[in-house]
Amino acid sequence: MTNPVSRLLSATWPARWPLQWLPREPWAGQQPTYRDASPSLIESAVKRAGARPSGNWFVFAASRAIGGSRPVGVQVGNVELVAWRLPDGTLRVGPGACPHLGAPLALGKLRDSQVVCRWHGMAVGEEGRFGWLSYPSHDDGVLCWVRLDQLGGEEPTDRPAVPARPAARRIDAVATMTGHCEPADIVANRLDPWHGAWFHPYSFSDLRVVQVPQESDDPAADRFLVDVTFRLGGALGVPVHAEFTCPGPRTVVMRIVEGEGAGSVVETHATPIAPTHDGRPRVAVIEATVATSGRFGFQLARRAAPLVRPAMTRTAARLWRDDLAYAERRYHLRTGRP
């Protein structure tokens, strides 16, 4: 039974306050969502997302993770990559194996614009020299992308489709997690908003899906609209109206369209990475949160962004611990593989 004090506070709390008092409901007392969470509806939304073009662009890291002091090794699909920044800040990404005898360039050192290999000192990075050629890459200010035409197998595009984000007065944070499944399983998890308050009661409550996606040529019309309250801990929460869209085959964007922080986005990018030695697929979930608000407190938080970012990343990581278990389970059920 709901605590009467909690119920009274919930009933009398001013509706226009951004923070709302949440009555303490027992977890099992929530309204079940399975009747609405139609497997075929989710599946067809996942299929439509998977058919969207990506131009062969893959998100591989947070912009902040690639600096100008050392090369960074990353893997996308089966492709070993090395990434670094030129002295003017330009991102450079290319094959991660040294053209001489294959040493990992990520272990080398940066000198001017090039990586000096650890094994025999070859300086790699000049376009075409020793047969080393960079891949097209793009830094959108929050995330780094690389275009891998062989892996993508689609018609290449000059630039990735970067989702619209708040342009100013924003804080961004990027969390990266890995799981054993395929990108479609990550997308499927995000395209089941009905699990939110059941599976993550510590983060969400009062979740109601008010619009389900329709088949449409316009990806923006192919969306979920959800009313949900984000729990801030204890009995306080922030109610918002949010949409979920898939601008590409491996990306799901949650955007707050009304309520506190309107315009803020959470972009979930699922990038395939090298499988395990026994052939199990692996995926990197690279999730960027770009938050905005006109409130004074938010402007203070922006100034303390280096302190706020770890908390934002922890919140994303906690949710994804559960969501990866969901996505891995989905992979297991549809393939029969462990």
Residues at the contact surface with ligand FES, assessed by CB under 6 A? 98, 100-101, 103, 117, 119-122
Q: How far is the CB of 247 from ligand FES (least distance, A)?
A: 39
Cβ proximity to ligand FES: between 112 and 218 the closer is 112
Cβ proximity to ligand FES: between 101 and 210 the closer is 101
- The Cα 72–Cα 65 span in angstroms is 8
- The Cα 298–Cα 261 span in angstroms is 9
Residue 98 interacts with which of Fe ion, ligand FES, none, CB < 5 to 8 Å by class: ligand FES
**Burial (CB count within 10 angstroms: exposed 0-12, middle 13-18, buried 19+), residue 244:** buried
Q: How far is the CB of 118 from ligand FES (least distance, A)?
A: 7
Q: Give the residues lining the site for Fe ion (CB under 5 A).
A: 323
Residue 199 CA to chain centroid, in angstroms?
A: 19
Residue 314 interacts with which of Fe ion, ligand FES, none, CB < 5 to 8 Å by class: none
Cβ proximity to Fe ion: between 72 and 240 the closer is 240
Residue 100 interacts with which of ligand FES, Fe ion, none, CB < 5 to 8 Å by class: ligand FES
Cβ proximity to ligand FES: between 119 and 199 the closer is 119
* Dihedral sign of CA atoms 99, 105, 110, 113 in order: positive
- The Cα 186–Cα 282 span in angstroms is 11
Residue 232 interacts with which of ligand FES, Fe ion, none, CB < 5 to 8 Å by class: none
Q: Would you call 216 helix, strand, or coil by DSSP?
A: coil
Cβ proximity to ligand FES: between 53 and 104 the closer is 104
- The Cα 319–Cα 336 span in angstroms is 25
Cβ proximity to ligand FES: between 120 and 329 the closer is 120
Residue 323 interacts with which of ligand FES, Fe ion, none, CB < 5 to 8 Å by class: Fe ion
Q: How many CB atoms lie within 10 A of CB 162?
A: 18
- The Cα 163–Cα 160 span in angstroms is 9
Q: How far is the CB of 130 from ligand FES (least distance, A)?
A: 9
- The Cα 238–Cα 229 span in angstroms is 5
Residue 329 interacts with which of Fe ion, ligand FES, none, CB < 5 to 8 Å by class: none
